[in-house]
Structure 1
Amino acid sequence: MGAKSLVRGGHKPVAIVEMTSYHLRDSRCVTGEFLATNGASPPELAVELSLEEQEIKKKMIECYRSQRLVLEAYPVKAERFRLAPEYDFSYPPHPGKLWYECLRWPITGERWRQLAVEAVTQCDEAAWA
């Protein structure tokens, strides 16, 4: 949505590339895989890491001690990327509870979506200013 605002404001279109994150599927946290989209999912690029690159990635992850429990669930053998599909952040990414809601973090999916819509609106307004 923000990228569209830039184009409407006279800027060249940009490709938005996304990486995998985490999501809830079948009552468990899934990492290293894209969440299925409504409709056709864009093709993804999987980059297999060498043993040396895997060791570097492990060391990088170890630097984030406060995030250790989250990051240790991520695979280190590959990185996955794809062109981001069009998202409407006013809707949840999938039906049911979101993974971070299972963790009792102080933000709900509903509140996150409200904040996302506000941010997109501000980007749109700034592009037209």
Structure 2
Amino acid sequence: MLPLTSEDRARRNAALGAYKTQRGVLAFAGDWQERLRPAPAYDFRQPAPQGSAWYDRHGWDMTLAKWRQYVDALLDREGA
């Protein structure tokens, strides 16, 4: 866990407050500490599990195919 300075909290609250859907979170954000966990070593070039991605089900602009294009471009750029 990382303790947050007053500047850290202000920056986090400004970021959350910039999105209407997240403003309710601010009521609970008070003096939270940031909790981190090691991220698993995913191979993002591998296909997703069978079926559709969550965002494919909602007709959003983001699709699994588009996400994969973005990931491939980023990994190519980073040399990963």
TM-score by length of 2: 0.51
Task: Report how many residues are paired.
Answer: 73
CA distance in 2, matches of 1:71, 1:89: 32
2:53 matched to 1:97?
yes
Residue segments in structure 2 that go unaligned for 5+ positions in a row: none
Cα contact 2:16–2:23 (8 A) shared by 1: yes
Change (3 A) 1:71 1:106: farther
Residue segments in structure 1 that go unaligned for 5+ positions in a row: 1-45
Cα contact 2:52–2:64 (8 A) shared by 1: no
CA distance in 2, matches of 1:72, 1:103: 23
2:42 matched to 1:87?
yes
Question: Greater RCO between the two (CA within 8 Å, min separation 6)?
Answer: 1
Query: Residue deviations 1:15-57, cap 9 Å, x none?
Result: xxxxxxxxxxxxxxxxxxxxxxxxxxxxxxx4577xx79x744
| Greater share of residues in helix | 2
Aligned match of 2:78 = 123
| Greater share of residues in strand | 1
2:69 matched to 1:69?
no
CA distance in 2, matches of 1:89, 1:71: 32
**C-alpha deviation, 1:89, in angstroms:** 1.6
TM-score by length of 1: 0.37
Matches within 5 A, 1:45-56: 46-47=1-2, 56=10
CA distance in 2, matches of 1:78, 1:96: 35
Query: Residue deviations 1:51-79, cap 9 Å, x none?
Result: x79x74445522x1xx2214645862342
Considering only aligned residues, what root-mean-square deviation do their CA atoms show, in Å? 3.8
Identity of aligned residues (%): 24
Whichever residue aligns with residue 121 of structure 1, its letter is D
